[in-house]
Amino acid sequence: VSTAPKYVLEEQMEELEELAKSADLIVIDKIIQRVKQINPKYLLGEGKLRELIIKAMDMGATLLVFDQNLTPSQIRAITDMTELKVIDRSQLILDIFAKRAHTRDGKVQVELAQLRYMLPRLTGKGTAMSRLAGGIGGRGPGETKLEIDRRRIKERIHHLENELKKLTLARLQRKKRRKEFSIPIVSIIGYTNAGKSTLLNALTKSSVFVEDKMFATLDTSSRRLKFPEEKELIITDTVGFIRDLPEDLVAAFKATLEELEDASLLIHLVDISNPQFENHIEAVNKILKELELETKPVILVFNKIDKLSSFDTKQICSRYNAIGISALDKQTLIPLIEEIKNKLWQEATCTAPL
Ligand code: GDP
């Protein structure tokens, strides 16, 4: 629902759909409503909203996702009208972060952001409150769901804030341990939908690596891979970048990326078929700088070359000095794997004094 021109709304809707997919939602319909003026209570007119709700229920939807952030009173007014669960873009993004946060710090930061977001949106006791409580479903803050109330949320926030302080120490210890452990970590970074998890899976299944049963999986987003010559690496997937990240969520986002500190090498993955790819590259580089990670070795990788002609692929890759791949086609990964090897092991030898 917006007053913006139609083409802008269509672009935003496409992005919202990508985000919804990243959160494992099944999108059954998208509705763009251009309005002359935003209705402060319901965003759109009450009658229109009622129509939309009936349509959604007829189609079997269980969740309404609004692209704009809803104020506490808007979310209450809308949830009062329907049994459907109602969330906005920020909640959707927080849900994605919750799914992809791996370190304890990251998880704590995301839960804090979820609770702080939820707190002003709770009033008294009622169904609206319980429907707000669990995030999209299952991955909401903590184990508490229906019973959650303001007092408990405040207690939980306090507890998490304390935990965060203690975690700084644990992080330093972890870093030291990682150093002793000495297996290089390669992290895949990039925008949502760039193909990061597809690439991680493709690399894992690649015949270049021998299976290392003992350490097959660390967690869903990390794999330990071994070359026949006994060289090993850990490869991890990270939370994706998101355009127009709401200010409140920046800290949580950065916390989920904190594990990049341990990486020896970053694979910056770009969906080359996305017309916005140059902006995406810039946004990623900007965040790397903010996290003081810009000095880490990076391989720029352009994914989804299957969507481009080979002529265009060659031109674009050479212009950016990037490696072109299609994460869906394992054959195309060979040059990338070679480059990973080079960056992790060869370059050190080359730069050693003669
Ligand atoms: P992530 O959000 O970066 O982890 O992206 P995903 O790995 O979930 O991929 C997003 C979408 O892009 C999925 O639908 C993939 O099947 C698709 N995808 C990934 N790699 C390629 C590719 O090389 N070519 C094409 N055409 N689609 C791809």
CATH assignment at residue 148: 3.40.50.11060
Note the maximum CA span of the chain.
78
* Residues 170 and 187 placed together within one structural domain of the fold: no
Atom of ligand 1 nearest to the CA of 327: 23
**How much is the average pLDDT of 118-138?**
55
65-69, 103-107, 186-190: segment of lowest average pLDDT = 103-107
Parent domain of 42: 1-174
Give the residue whose CA is nearest to atom 10 of ligand 1: 193
- Give 62's pLDDT tier (boundaries 50, 70, 90): very high
Residue linked to tokens 């895949």: 188
The percent of residues above 90 in pLDDT, for the chain, comes to: 37
Domains contained in the chain, number: 2
How many A from CA of 122 to the centre of ligand 1? 37
Average of pLDDT values for 88-108?
A: 85
Tokens of 260: 């990049």
Helices in 185-275 by DSSP H: which ranges? 196-205, 250-256
Question: Do 29 and 145 sit in the same domain of this protein?
Answer: yes
- Whether 250 and 135 map to the same domain: the answer is no
Q: Report the 10 Å Cβ neighbour count for 248.
A: 14
Look at residues 107, 142, 174 and tell me which one is the last residue of a structural domain: 174
> Ligand 1 centroid vs 195 CA: distance in angstroms?
4
pLDDT in tens, 261-284: 889 999 999 999 998 899 999 989
Q: Rounded CA gap, 120 and 118, in Å?
A: 6
Residues 120 and 192 both lie in one domain: no
Q: Within this chain, do residues 231 and 337 fall inside the same structural domain, yes or no?
A: yes
Residue-level pLDDT at 301: 98
Instruction: Extract the tokens encoding 126.
Output: 């009622």
Nearest atom, ligand 1, residue 201 CA: 7
Ligand 1, pocket residues at CB < 6 Å: 22, 190, 192-198, 240, 303-304, 306-307, 326-328
Domain of 346: which CATH number? 3.40.50.300
Contact of 277 with 286, CB cutoff 8 Å? no
Ligand 1 atom 12, closest CA: 195
Specify whether 92 is located in the same domain as 193: no
- Per-residue pLDDT, 145: 41
174, 209, 228 — which closes off a domain? 174
Same domain for 232 and 329? yes
- Residue ending a domain, among 174, 195, 219, is 174
Same domain, 219 and 154: no
Nearest CA among 64, 156, 57 for reference residue 111:
156
Cα 50 to averaged position of ligand 1 atoms, centre (Å): 36
- Residues 115 and 4 occupy one common structural domain: yes
| Together in a domain, 123 and 240 | no
Residues 231 and 147 grouped into a single domain: no
Which amino acid is residue 278, in one-letter code?
Answer: E
As a whole number, the mean pLDDT across the chain is 83
Mean pLDDT of the 198-216 span: 71
Q: Is the pLDDT of residue 126 over 50?
A: no
Same domain? For 168 and 294 the reply is no
- Tell me the CA–centroid distance for residue 24 and ligand 1, in Å: 14
